[in-house]
Amino acid sequence: MRTLFTETQEPWLKYLLHFPAPYFAFGVSVLLELFLIMIFPHAGEQGIIGRAVEIVSPIIIGFWAGRLFYKKLPTIMGLLAWIPPAAILAYSTLSWQLTMSQYDSTWSTYFGSGCGGSECLYQLFVTESFYTAVAYSLGAATVRHRLILKRD
Residue 1 in any domain: the answer is: no
Sign of the Cα torsion 21, 25, 26, 30 reads positive
What domain range includes position 77?
Answer: 14-151
Residue 120, pLDDT > 80, answer: no
The reply to whether 3 falls in a domain is no
pLDDT in tens, 30-54: 898 888 888 887 776 766 677 777 7
Distances (CA, A) of 63 to 49, 108, 118, 122: 21, 26, 28, 22
Is 139 a domain residue? yes
Domain assignment present for residue 8? The answer is no
* CA dist., res. 4 & res. 147, Å (int): 17
The reply to whether 7 falls in a domain is: no
The model's pLDDT over 59-114, given as tens digits with 9 standing for 90+, comes to 999 999 999 999 988 888 999 999 999 999 999 999 988 888 777 777 777 887 76
2 lies in a domain? Answer: no
User: Other C-beta atoms within 10 Å of 136: how many?
Assistant: 34
Q: Would the pLDDT of 149 be above 80?
A: yes
Considering its fold, how many domains does the chain have in total? 1
CA separation for the pair 64, 70 (Å, rounded): 10
pLDDT, tens only, 5-25: 555 556 667 678 889 999 999
Tell me whether residue 131 is in a domain: yes
Least confident of 5-14, 117-126, 136-145: 5-14
Q: Is residue 133 part of a domain?
A: yes
